[in-house]
Amino acid sequence: MTAVDLSPTGVRRWTSRVPRDVLLLVAGALLALAVEEFRDARHRRTRERESVASIRNELRANVALVTSARAHHAFLVDTLEKLALKKQLPSKQIYMNGMFNPGLVTDVAWTLARESGALSDVPLATLLTVAGAYASQGRYRQLTDQMSADILEQARRDGLDATLRDNFTQFISLDTDFRNREGGLLEKYRAALDALDHLR
């Protein structure tokens, strides 16, 4: 096989045999590909920035919701434990204000970004941290739905007052469990937000 001369002289000799129009056509095609690649890269970066910003906002909103829910559950645990010690029933103001109120957290921004591929260029370590927060949130929501359905079924069977007032001690362990879960979830959220902030 004859070796190809890639020296400047050899390249000039080769290109001198190729019609000028062909060279211009090839050069134009290469330039168009480079421009298209640049546009695609810029579009990906824009989508990534917008997706990360949406996820960050969603996480911050979820932090506020879970923080509020945790404070309410902590209040209920403290209040109901004192009532149980005194062998008193909770007032209507207490039990009608919600004996179990988890945060109504969302994952719309995370799901949309993940399914659209907008996070393909985000470092894996960051994605794993954020995914871990949303996985914990998913378990939190699943347990919330399950416990809410159980409470609703009990209220239908035994009546609202019997469920929320007469059997109020059942909520001490439930609210304690969710207060602790919410504390762990908030730690996951903070780790995810910290990881996203390091992308700037």
Alpha helix (H) residue ranges in 117-200: 124-158, 160-161, 170-197
Print burial letters for 6-36: b (CB count within 10 Å at least 16), e (below 16).
Answer: eeeeeeeeeeeeeeeeeeeeeeeeeeeeeee
109 lies in some domain: yes
In a domain, 143, yes or no: yes
Tracing tokens 């062998």 back to the chain, one arrives at 87
Q: Would you state the pLDDT for residue 67?
A: 98
Residue spans of the chain under pLDDT 70:
1-44, 200
With respect to residue 62, please indicate whether it lies within any of the assigned structural domains. yes
Question: What do you get for the CA distance between the two ends of the chain, in Å?
Answer: 53
Residue 17 lies in a domain: no
User: Could you tell me the pTM of the whole model?
Assistant: 0.78
Amino acid at site 75: F
Cα–Cα distance measured from residue 12 to residue 184, given in angstroms and rounded to the nearest whole number = 68
With respect to residue 40, please indicate whether it lies within any of the assigned structural domains: no
Q: Indicate whether 28 belongs to any domain.
A: no
196 and 55 Cβ atoms separated by less than 8 Å: yes
Number of structural domains found in the chain: 1
- DSSP code of residue 18: S
Instruction: Give the structural domain span for 119.
Output: 46-197
